[in-house]
């Protein structure tokens, strides 16, 4: 049996097009950037692929499945670059990453297949679909005969560039996402079958003019539960290789943004078309199920005050929905912290904020110092003005993943200030800074979905707090699209927009 030479790579970032910030190469290098043997090492058994985030993600899932395969395989690790969600990639950053990947692919020589791990909702300074551009350029280098499979986040934007240049696309099928490794493993199985010519990829997709819907959009709650269950059922048919429901994130300015369905079959175009239609109809049917309720800071605090039992046996968690760092927000929202200082007297509160300058200033002082300074209001002051803090410095040190950090206690509010955007989703974030999550009454997180899993042990009540920021659901409504878009416009059917979008 011929040895299959399979290459793998990742360039991934989720872009919030409303963020005023640019993402640079240093943002990738700081978080996750590996090439060649170094990449193979972090994807190896018992290693950690994404430090501070996930032990195993897509690429280690891919590698493990290739190693377990009966087919003789030579793995070619190219590069893996992964940055936290934020603003658009600068042209220079996107070009450097893309050129380096193409260079490494050329150096790898002839290959039998390529696996590309993408987010799929990336945006660069000069392209609304740099993921699609990248797939198209790699397709150009590989020619038509070498299979190219890409995995996507389920918040990706589906576009003709992606669909027509990749042989297969496989999106996460969990929200909060917890199937990174599974998706990587499935991509390996499929790529091996395509490379060995045992299966022939054939797909169909639909793009819906739909920005919001699906209630909480969690995969295990109605109405989305039925959609995810149906995809699994579809795959019981051996002709169906993979089904994806993409609930595109709403803060992207691709003019054809929207939810999408995508079905991959083994050389069965009619079946792919029928099932992609069926999935699209199922997604469209959820469009009027509203998102969870959002509260003002004042209402959130009074809810927390009343929730005595929740506070006694854990904490009330405030999801800072206007400043979701993991959906690309800058992380310097002062509104909730201001509200807590003014209105949550007597309740122990843990909150976080990004301010590199404040960290540099406070890190020079001894612990226990009385401090008085303005924090925040530097990156996007029109949305989030600076806040005056008067308190005591209780911690100074390193955080995992967010740079240096200090903690200032003002009254009963512990304000954690970090150098980089604090994507707070794990209790360890606060524990590391010397704070007790169990002893807190109110804990603020800056993440929409995964925190629910990580904080399940402590979370007794969730309050979604809306202030003002680039991850507000309303914020996306300023974007302009090619088609009338639900829910801003009344759209009777998805088919008209879909037909135009796919050709």
Q: Is residue 354 close enough to count as binding Zn ion by CB under 5 A?
A: no
Q: How many angstroms separate the CA atoms of 428 and 399, rounded?
A: 10
Q: Which residue has the tokens 């051996």?
A: 238
Q: Which is nearer to Zn ion, 10 or 155 (CB)?
A: 155
**Smallest separation, CB 57 to Zn ion (Å):** 13
x-or-dash string of contact with Zn ion, 100-139, rule CB under 5 A: ----------------------------------------
Q: Which of 64, 155, 203, 354 binds Zn ion (CB under 5 A)?
A: 155
Q: Which is nearer to Zn ion, 219 or 483 (CB)?
A: 219
Q: Which is nearer to Zn ion, 207 or 447 (CB)?
A: 447
Near Zn ion by CB under 5 A, which window of 150-158, 179-187, 309-317, 357-365? 150-158
**Smallest separation, CB 105 to Zn ion (Å):** 26
Q: Is residue 252 close enough to count as binding Zn ion by CB under 5 A?
A: no
Q: In 340-369, which positions are buried (b, 16+ CB within 10 angstroms) versus exposed (e)? A: bbeebeebbbbbbbbbbebbeebeeeeeee
**Smallest separation, CB 181 to Zn ion (Å):** 15
**Smallest separation, CB 175 to Zn ion (Å):** 7
Q: Which is nearer to Zn ion, 155 or 501 (CB)?
A: 155
Q: Which is nearer to Zn ion, 13 or 466 (CB)?
A: 13
**Smallest separation, CB 15 to Zn ion (Å):** 12
**Smallest separation, CB 172 to Zn ion (Å):** 7
- Lookup: tokens for 391: 């308190």
Give strand ranges (E) for 39-167.
Answer: 73-82, 113-118, 148-152
Q: Which is nearer to Zn ion, 321 or 410 (CB)?
A: 321
Near Zn ion by CB under 5 A, which window of 50-58, 152-160, 346-354, 408-416? 152-160
Cis bond upstream, residue 176 (ω within 30): yes
Q: Is residue 185 close enough to count as binding Zn ion by CB under 5 A?
A: no
The residues facing 35 across adjacent strands are 79
Q: Is residue 452 close enough to count as binding Zn ion by CB under 5 A?
A: no
Near Zn ion by CB under 5 A, which window of 17-25, 67-75, 129-137, 148-156? 148-156
Q: Is residue 472 close enough to count as binding Zn ion by CB under 5 A?
A: no
**Smallest separation, CB 153 to Zn ion (Å):** 4
The residues facing 453 across adjacent strands are none
Q: Is residue 219 close enough to count as binding Zn ion by CB under 5 A?
A: no
**Smallest separation, CB 502 to Zn ion (Å):** 23
Q: Are strands 168-171 and 201-207 parallel, antiparallel or unpaired?
A: unpaired
Near Zn ion by CB under 5 A, which window of 71-79, 102-110, 153-161, 414-422? 153-161
Q: How many angstroms separate the CA atoms of 107 and 267, rounded?
A: 32
Q: How far is CA 48 from CA 39, 101, 160, in A?
A: 11, 22, 34
Q: Is residue 173 close enough to count as binding Zn ion by CB under 5 A?
A: no
Q: Is residue 153 close enough to count as binding Zn ion by CB under 5 A?
A: yes
**Smallest separation, CB 4 to Zn ion (Å):** 31
Q: Which is nearer to Zn ion, 85 or 422 (CB)?
A: 85
Q: Which is nearer to Zn ion, 49 or 153 (CB)?
A: 153
Neighbours of 447 (CB within 10 A): 22
Q: Which is nearer to Zn ion, 155 or 414 (CB)?
A: 155
Give CA 191 to chain center in angstroms: 24
Can you list the alpha helix ranges (DSSP code H) found in 415-488? Answer: 427-432, 451-454
Q: Which is nearer to Zn ion, 153 or 193 (CB)?
A: 153
Upper half-sphere CA count for residue 316 (Cβ side, 13 Å): 23
The burial of 399, by beta-carbon neighbours within 10 Å (0-12 exposed, 13-18 middle, 19 or more buried), is given as buried
User: Which residues, other chains included, contact 332 with Cβ-Cβ below 8 Å and sequence gap of 6+?
Assistant: 323, 353, 354, 355, 376, 377, 378, 379, 380, 384, 421
Backbone angles phi, psi at 317, to 5 degrees: -100, 130
Q: Which is nearer to Zn ion, 153 or 266 (CB)?
A: 153
Q: How many angstroms separate the CA atoms of 115 and 43, rounded?
A: 14
Answer whether 242's CB lies under 8 Å from 264's CB.
Answer: yes
User: Residue number with the shortest CB distance to Zn ion?
Assistant: 155
The residues facing 388 across adjacent strands are 374
CA dihedral 145, 149, 150, 154 (to 10 degrees): 130
Backbone angles phi, psi at 243, to 5 degrees: -130, 140
Near Zn ion by CB under 5 A, which window of 132-140, 149-157, 264-272, 488-496? 149-157
With vertex at residue 219, the alpha carbon angle to CA 216 and CA 225, rounded to the nearest 5 degrees, is: 100
Near Zn ion by CB under 5 A, which window of 102-110, 145-153, 189-197, 221-229? 145-153
**Smallest separation, CB 119 to Zn ion (Å):** 7
H/E run at residue 476 = none
Binding site for Zn ion (CB under 5 A): 153, 155
């Amino acid at each position: 049996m011929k040895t299959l030479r399979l290459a793998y790579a990742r360039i991934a970032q989720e872009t919030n097009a409303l963020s005023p910030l640019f993402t640079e190469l240093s943002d990738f290098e700081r978080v996750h950037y590996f090439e060649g043997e170094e990449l193979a090492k972090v994807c190896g058994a018992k290693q950690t692929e994404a430090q501070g985030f996930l032990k195993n993600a897509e690429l280690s899932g891919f590698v493990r499945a290739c190693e377990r395969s009966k087919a003789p395989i030579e793995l070619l690790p190219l590069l893996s670059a992964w940055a936290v969600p934020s603003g658009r990639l600068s042209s220079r950053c996107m070009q450097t990453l893309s050129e380096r990947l193409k260079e490494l692919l050329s150096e790898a020589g002839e290959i039998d297949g390529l696996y590309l791990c993408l987010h799929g909702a990336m945006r660069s300074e000069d392209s609304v679909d740099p993921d699609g551009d990248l797939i198209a350029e790699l397709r150009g280098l590989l020619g038509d005969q070498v299979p190219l499979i890409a995995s996507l986040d389920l918040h990706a934007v589906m576009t003709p560039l992606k669909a027509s240049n990749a042989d297969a696309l496989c999106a996460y099928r969990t929200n909060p996402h917890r199937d990174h490794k599974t998706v990587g493993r499935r991509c390996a199985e499929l790529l091996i079958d395509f490379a060995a010519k045992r299966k022939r990829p054939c797909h169909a997709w639909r793009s819906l003019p739909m920005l919001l819907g699906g209630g909480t959009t969690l995969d295990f709650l109605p109405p989305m539960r039925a959609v995810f269950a149906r995809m699994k059922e579809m795959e019981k048919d051996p002709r169906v290789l993979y089904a994806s429901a993409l609930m595109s994130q709403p803060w992207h300015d691709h003019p054809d943004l929207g939810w999408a369905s995508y079905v991959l079959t083994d050389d069965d175009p009619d079946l792919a078309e029928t099932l992609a239609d069926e999935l699209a109809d199922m997604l469209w049917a959820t469009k009027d199920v509203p998102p969870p309720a959002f509260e003002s800071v004042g209402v959130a605090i009074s809810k927390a005050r009343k929730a005595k039992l929740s506070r006694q046996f854990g904490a009330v968690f405030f999801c800072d929905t206007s400043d979701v760092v993991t959906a690309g927000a800058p992380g310097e929202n002062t509104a909730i912290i201001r509200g807590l200082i003014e209105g949550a007297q007597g309740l122990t509160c843990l909150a976080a904020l990004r301010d590199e300058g404040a960290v540099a200033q406070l890190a020079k002082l001894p612990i226990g110092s009385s401090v008085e300074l303005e924090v925040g209001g530097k990156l996007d002051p029109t949305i989030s003005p600076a806040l005056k803090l008067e308190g005591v410095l209780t911690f100074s040190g390193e955080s995992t993943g967010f740079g240096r950090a200090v903690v200032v206690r003002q009254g009963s509010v512990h304000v954690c200030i970090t150098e980089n955007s604090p994507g707070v989703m794990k209790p360890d974030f606060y524990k590391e800074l010397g704070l007790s999550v169990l002893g807190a009454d109110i804990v603020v997180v800056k993440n929409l979905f995964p925190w629910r899993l990580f904080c399940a042990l402590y979370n007794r009540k969730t309050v979604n707090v809306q202030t003002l920021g680039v991850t507000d659901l309303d914020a996306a409504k300023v974007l302009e699209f090619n088609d009338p878009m639900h829910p801003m416009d009344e759209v009777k059917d998805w088919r008209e927009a879909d037909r135009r979008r796919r050709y």
